[in-house]
Amino acid sequence: MEATKPHIALLASPGMGHLIPVLELAKRLVSHQSFKVTVFVVATDHASIVSSQLLQSPVSSDGDDLLEVVLLPLIDVSDIVGPGVSFIQQIEATMLRSVRFFRTEISKMKTRPTALVVDWFGTDVLEVADEFNMLKFIFITSNAWFFAFALYTPAIDRKEIDDHAKNQRPLKIPGCRPLMFEDTTEFSLMDPNDPAYQRHIEVIIKMSLTDGILVNTWEELEPTSLKALRDARKAPIYPIGPLIRPIEKSVSCSGIIDWLDKQPQESVIYVSFGSGGTLSAQQVIELAWGLELSQQRFLWVLRPPSEKDAAGAFPGLLA
């Protein structure tokens, strides 16, 4: 009798920047481990995901029976969208409201997953894994350095953080190169009394109680940061990278690739704000002028807000 294949559930937070890495991890689990994988997608807009063709052929034909993609019902967060609500807060609210839909989908499955993998924004959904006796894992889509920085931030002496913020001195993080002020993040400047900071602490605690943390890196690339993460004695750390999306040269981008091939090595600036970045028309104009006046070669990816499934890439050499 053939042994039952391990069944893993992956949950993708809203945004292509979260969906793409999760799909790549799913494909790796299918092709390298022969696991059965169900990817649950949380979204506020199904149309842009379906039209992106990411879900059309997520794996080769040999693994089609091992990978399933489930679009959870649309999550409405229109009641909290406003000038004072950040994009991160919108994602967090979306994920919190998705818990009941995810629970329903899991309860309907005849063969339920034995493990759940969520990304940074999916820690609220881990309660469902507890309810159904599933192992819990976190998938860090960025590198070990960033995760080590985020993990250690709550433990850093507040005086050091204030010195970093006020006097712009480098912030020392165990296992990481010092964080220069010009490269600082919102975590390092956040007020401990800020609800967002308390949320960050809550997320870190939930991560530390999981069965493991998967990091999109590899041992030889970040040995010091990986050692620092393991020394923190939190959840086990598993470097599983590099996980990248293969580049397929299409007719629509062939001209851009040809242009890039003709440029000197490391001479082109790449500009993209991801699926969550939004600029006004005036800001787009200012950025265009800035790129032109920089006298540098550049490749600019721009997505019109009224056509979410369309994107344009603009190469330029203004020297």
Catalytic residue ranges: 18, 119
Query: Going by C-beta distance under 8 Å and a sequence separation of 6 or more, which residues neighbour residue 26?
Result: 10, 37, 39, 58, 59, 67
Nearest to 160 by CA among 174, 140, 148, 147: 174
CA angle 210, 143, 168 (to 5 degrees): 110
Check if the beta carbon of residue 300 is closer than 8 Å to that of residue 313: yes
Strands of the 212-215 sheet, one edge to the other: 67-71, 36-41, 7-12, 115-118, 135-140, 212-215, 237-239
User: What value does the CA radius of gyration of the chain take, rounded to a whole number of Å?
Assistant: 21
Backbone angles phi, psi at 51, to 5 degrees: -70, -15
List the structure tokens of 132.
């159904």
d(CA 315, CA 298): 6
